[in-house]
Chains A and B, each alone.
Chain A
Amino acid sequence: MSVVKDNCVYSHEHEWAAGAEGQTVRIGISDHAQSQLGDIVFVELPQLGAKVDAGDSIGSIESVKTVSELYSPVSGTVKRVNETLLEQPELINEQPYEGGWIAEVEVEGQVDEALAALLTAEKYRELVE
Chain B
Amino acid sequence: MKRTPLFPLYTEHPGVRCIDFGGWELPGQFSGIGLEHAAVRERAALFDVSHMGEIWVTGRHAEAYVQQMTTNDVTRLTDGAAQYTLMCNTEGGTVDDLLVYRVTAERYMLVVNAANIEKDYEWLKQHLLPDVALEDRSEVTALLALQGPLAGTVLSQLIDDPAVHNLAPFHFLPEVAISGCKVLLSRTGYTGENGYEIYADAADAPLLWRALMQAGEPEGLVPAGLGARDTLRFEACLPLYGQELSLSISPLEAGLGMFVKLDKAGGFIGREALRQQKETGLKRKLAGIEMLERGIPRSHYPVYAEGRLIGEVTSGTQSLTLKRNLGLALLEIGHTAVGAEVEVEIRGKRLKAAVVKTPFYRRPLPGKGV
Q: Is the CB of A64 within 8 A of B347?
A: no
CB within 8 Å of B: which A112-127 residues:
none
- Asked if A67 contacts B318 (CB within 8 A), the reply is no
Take A41-B296, A41-B318 as given contacts and tell me if A65 and B347 are in contact as well, using a CB distance cutoff of 8 Å.
no
A interface majority secondary structure: strand
Q: Which residue of B lies closest to A86 (CB)?
A: B294
Known: A38-B227, A42-B318, A60-B347. A65 touches B33 (CB 8 A): yes
Of A38, A60, A62, the residue contacting B33 (CB under 8 A) is A38
CB pair A38 B296 closer than 8 Å: no
Q: A62-B296, A64-B317, A65-B317 are in contact. Are A39 and B32 (CB under 8 A)?
A: yes
Interface bits A54-71 vs B (CB < 8 Å: 1, else 0):
000000101111010000
Query: A65 vs B33: C-alpha distance in the bound complex, in angstroms?
Result: 9
In the bound assembly, the distance between CA atoms of A64 and B295 in angstroms comes to 12
Q: Which of A38, A64, A65 has the largest number of chain B CB atoms within 10 A? A: A64
A53 at the interface (CB under 8 A from B): no
- Check A94 for interface membership: any CB of B closer than 8 A: no
- Is B29 engaged at the interface, CB distance under 8 Å to the other chain? yes
**Could you give, for residues 23-38 of chain B, a 1 whenever the CB lies within 8 Å of some chain A CB and a 0 otherwise?**
0000011001110000
Chain A residues with Cβ under 8 A from B227's Cβ? 38, 64-65
**B320 touches which one: A62, A64, A67 (CB < 8 A)?**
A64
B85 at the interface (CB under 8 A from A): no
Interface residues on B, range: 10 to 19
Closest to A90 in B: B34
Determine the chain A residues whose CB is within 8 A of the CB of B17 once the complex forms.
38
| Cα of A42 to Cα of B33 in the assembled complex, Å | 15
Size category of the A interface is 10 to 19
Considering the complex, give the chain B residue whose CB is closest to the CB of A59: B347
Chain A residues with CB below 8 A from B34, complex form: 39, 64
**Nearest residue, chain A, Cβ from B320:** A64
Name the CB-closest residue of A to B37: A64
Interface digits, B295-323 against A, CB 8 Å rule (1 contact, 0 not)? 11010000000000000000001101000
B residues with CB within 8 A of A: 17, 28-29, 32-34, 227, 230-231, 294-296, 298, 317-318, 320, 325, 347
> Can you list 16 contacts pairing A with B, beta carbon distance less than 8 Å?
A38-B32, A38-B33, A38-B227, A39-B34, A41-B318, A42-B294, A42-B296, A42-B318, A42-B325, A44-B294, A60-B347, A62-B296, A64-B231, A64-B320, A67-B298, A86-B294
Residues of A within 8 A of B (CB): 38-39, 41-42, 44, 60, 62-65, 67, 86
| 8 tightest Cβ-Cβ pairs between the two chains A and B | A39-B34, A41-B318, A64-B33, A42-B296, A62-B296, A65-B227, A39-B33, A39-B32
